[in-house]
Amino acid sequence: MDDIDKRIIFQLDSDCRMTYQKMADKLGITATAVKKRVTKLLERGVIDRFITTLNFEMIDSDLVLAIVQTDGSEFEEDFIDELGEPSFVFQVSPIACGKGGLYAVFAVTSGLSGLSEFGTFIRTLKPVANSEIHVLLYPKGKKVNLTKTQLRVLKYLVENPRMSIVEIADLSGMTARRIRRTIEELQEGEGILFAVIWNLGIGGLTEVLLRIEWDEKNTDHESVIAWLRKRYPLEYWSPFISAAFPVIFARFVVEKLETIESIAREVKRAPFVKSLSTLVFYSNYLFNWPGVTELRRLFETEL
């Protein structure tokens, strides 16, 4: 996977309904070339699926990451299923570890009570020896009121986020003009995300989180992120920023572990770094996305 593939994934993540031609204009290649690359990313599983979902603000939730250490007594597949059982958990990623087991658990929680429920759930699982839980600073979007027309259109887009306006018109009986205007309203309102779920560990890639604790007396997280983006434009993907601690989980994607070893050594020498840990994902287990589940519930109650 090269830089063009990476940029395609980022564009689809910001709007998975973006046309091949629009992506091509941004990338400086042909629409046919973009389509071939997207098809290949889907076939390899690097793009797991496209989704139409309510944003975090619409479901009154925050993004949360738990790093869970076990005593090693668990059967991994059974434990992952147990971690993914609650509706608020949407991804579990086993992490390479020298002792016991180590897992990254991504979830959404609502308020202090939701965070407390998530923490209690993690800590009371039998194999768990230790856990570290972070509420993450992440774009939450806006809260909007969805009309019945918008919900009618969304019902088709949940099943196929890239369904064409013509197809929706044929199935719904609405005019193409009305559907186009409705989709534009949804995109402008920022209550709905047309995004992509990726699985970067597939196809020979390795996904890594560098847990960076920085010196908050001398820098801030924006400066740390800017430094990473400038220094590692191909390997660095995105940050998960702790809301309560001077910690960033910087996501990198590499083809060889030797690459991340070199990067980790360089980052650790940066003057703003107080400590650094390398968390190597060797797979991702994806569960139901909470915003999609809530959107489907709206269809049942409002339509």
Extract the tokens encoding 170: 């044929």
Phi-psi region of 197 (alpha: psi -120 to 50; beta: other; left: phi over 0): beta
Q: What is the largest CA-CA distance in the chain?
A: 62
Q: Which CATH architecture has domain 206-281?
A: 2-Layer Sandwich (3.30)
Q: Which CATH architecture has domain 3-44?
A: Orthogonal Bundle (1.10)
pLDDT for 284 = 87
pLDDT for 282 = 84
pLDDT along the chain (303 residues), means of 10: 86 94 95 96 91 96 97 95 96 89 96 96 96 95 95 97 96 96 95 90 82 94 95 92 96 91 96 95 90 94 87
Angle among Cα 69, 212, 84 to the nearest 5 degrees reads: 35
- What Cα–Cα distance (Å) separates residue 63 from each residue in 105, 137, 167, 179? 11, 8, 34, 31
pLDDT for 59 = 95
pLDDT for 2 = 80
- The ranges assigned to domains in the chain are 3-44, 206-281
pLDDT for 192 = 96
- Say how far apart CA 171 and CA 213 lie, in whole Å: 52
Cβ proximity of 141 and 190 under 8 Å? yes
pLDDT for 81 = 97
Q: What is the pLDDT of residues 226-280, one digit of tens each?
A: 999 999 988 998 999 999 999 999 999 998 899 999 999 999 999 999 999 999 9
- Say how far apart CA 293 and CA 127 lie, in whole Å: 29
Q: Say how many C-beta atoms besides its own lie within 10 A of residue 302's C-beta.
A: 11
What pTM does this model have? 0.91
pLDDT for 203 = 63
Closest CA to 66 of 141, 124, 13: 124
The rounded Cα 25 to chain-centroid distance in angstroms is: 25
